[in-house]
Amino acid sequence: MREDDLLRRLAECEGFEWDAGNVEKIWQRHQVTLVECEEVFLNRPLMVEADEAHSASEERFYALGQTDGGRLLFVAFAIRRRFVRAISARDMSRKERRVYRSAI
């Protein structure tokens, strides 16, 4: 899926859907809050790509973006019905930061 098409699908989403287990996992493993995850999708620049390697049971994607505080995050997510469902979130790796910064 092209990035333009994915950004259009995201724009059609009505909000976020959270699984309590994922919220806890993301916090315990990476100290990322659900608010920070949501901020990534609301701020620009935002890079999104299909995550073909993890799309066996459902279509999955990942986003590279930043929080209101400037924290650079990688967020793995799915789109279920018309909601973004974060699956995992963490600080960007060095390579991801380089890709993100070169794109902007």
Q: What is the pTM of this model?
A: 0.92
Angle, helices 34-42 vs 20-30, to 10°: value is: 90
CATH number at residue 24: 3.10.450.530
Residue ranges of E strands in 10-82: 15-16, 47-50, 60-66, 72-80
**What's the total number of domains in the chain?**
1
Separation of alpha carbons 99 and 32, rounded Å: 21
pLDDT tens per residue, range 11-70:
999 999 999 999 999 999 999 999 999 999 999 999 999 987 766 778 999 999 999 999
